[in-house]
């Protein structure tokens, strides 16, 4: 007992797991000694040792239960029977028995009875251990299957939590769809004023996008993500946000590269506002911002349902033309 306390350094989950290992190996004193002396005891080794202990427990509960634990780990810390059943592609008996075994072993908590039950991994480290035993190809296959099941059977959940589908598409390396879903998740979070969350979703979309070869479509997706992230950043951090300014500057460069007049207006306007707020030299003036909107495609966007229609009409319509040149419009206006 003293040695267990010493080796676990008071980490409750590790105490429990190592004690269970001792109990499950009752009557095998040599194995007990080997477990306790298999590695030195540096303080920072505890997480790795706990990880090894959890993997050993997964190995001991049987192949079927371990495989179901792996599938559940792909779905997340918490999952429902209705979701894991089509992903696992097992007959009822071959799914319910392993789930019951995992619950009896204390690796999962179960609420309700199948097919209306839900499951929760006892600890995030248990989920991590099960997930870590999957080979990359199998992991991608399961994430792709989880994404397909979400879209087919749970469209309402995807509508409410678009980031859930984005996570599985990203892990399945379905990159183009993952990027689009990250954009949806970022915009969805922004509508709830969860701008820190929105910035995270959009950043993950940009990270996924970096693996694609440079094309017109890719650059336009990047510009959309950057503008959306920049808007969330200035809402959360204010117009002096240097990170937002960087996003808008990069978006401006991409829009200029492909003559994307509609997005260029938004990017230039916010480059102007963030630069002016930070007293940065080289701030674009309003004549430069007006440039893209004076092209036919830009005028069509400004005259239609574009969000910056009113700003454009004020700055460059009859009222705007009566203002002094180059600096028309109050500097406090922002998109």
Dihedrals phi, psi of 213, to nearest 5 degrees: -70, 150
| Model confidence pLDDT, tens digit, residues 151-204 | 999 999 999 999 999 999 999 999 999 999 999 999 999 999 999 999 999 999
| Model confidence pLDDT, tens digit, residues 53-69 | 888 889 989 999 999 99
Query: What was the pLDDT predicted at 329?
Result: 42
Q: What is the mean pLDDT of residues 28-34?
A: 48
Report whether 199 contacts 244 (CB < 8 A): no
DSSP state of 41: -
Mean pLDDT of the chain: 80
Model-wide pTM > 0.85 = no
Is residue 91's pLDDT more than 90?
no
Of 254 and 24, more confident: 254
Long-range contacts of 84-91 (CB under 8 A, 24+ apart): 84/119, 85/115, 86/149, 86/153, 87/142, 87/145, 87/146, 87/149, 89/145
Query: What was the pLDDT predicted at 299?
Result: 47
Question: Any residues with CB less than 8 A from the CB of 291 and at least 6 apart, and which?
Answer: none
| Model confidence pLDDT, tens digit, residues 98-142 | 999 999 999 999 999 999 999 999 988 899 999 999 999 999 999
- In the chain, ranges of CATH 1.10.10.10 domains: 63-132
CATH of domain 63-132: 1.10.10.10
């Amino acid at each position: 007992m003293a040695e267990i306390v010493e080796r676990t350094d008071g980490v409750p989950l590790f105490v429990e797991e190592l004690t269970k290992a001792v109990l499950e190996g009752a009557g095998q004193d040599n194995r007990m000694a080997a477990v306790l002396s298999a590695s030195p005891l540096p303080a920072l080794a505890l997480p790795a040792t706990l990880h090894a202990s959890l993997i050993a427990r997964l190995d001991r509960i049987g192949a079927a239960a371990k495989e179901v634990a792996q599938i559940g780990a792909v779905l997340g810390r918490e999952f429902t029977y209705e979701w894991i059943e089509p992903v696992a592609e097992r007959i009822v008996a071959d799914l319910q028995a392993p789930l019951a075994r995992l619950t009896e072993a204390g690796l999962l908590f179960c609420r309700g009875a199948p097919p209306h039950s839900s499951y929760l991994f006892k600890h995030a480290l248990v989920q991590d251990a099960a997930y870590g035993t999957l080979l990359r190809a199998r992991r991608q296959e399961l994430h792709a299957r989880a994404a397909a099941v979400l879209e087919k059977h749970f469209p309402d959940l995807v509508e409410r939590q678009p980031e859930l589908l984005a996570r599985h598409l990203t892990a399945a390396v379905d990159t183009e769809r993952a990027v689009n879903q990250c954009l949806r998740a970022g915009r969805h979070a922004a509508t709830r004023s969860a701008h820190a969350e929105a910035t995270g979703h959009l950043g993950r979309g940009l990270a996924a996008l970096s693996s694609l070869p440079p094309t017109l479509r890719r650059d336009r997706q990047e510009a959309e993500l950057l503008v959306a992230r920049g808007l969330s950043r200035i809402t959360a951090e204010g117009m002096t946000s240097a990170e937002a300014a960087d996003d808008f500057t990069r978006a401006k460069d991409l829009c200029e590269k492909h003559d994307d007049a509609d997005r260029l207006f938004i990017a230039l306007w916010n480059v102007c506002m963030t630069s002016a707020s930070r007293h940065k030299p080289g701030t674009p003036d309003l004549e430069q911002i007006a440039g893209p909107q004076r092209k036919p495609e830009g005028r069509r966007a400004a005259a239609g349902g574009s969000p910056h229609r009113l700003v454009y009409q004020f700055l460059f319509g009859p009222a705007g033309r009566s203002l002094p040149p180059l600096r028309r419009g109050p500097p406090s206006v922002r998109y």
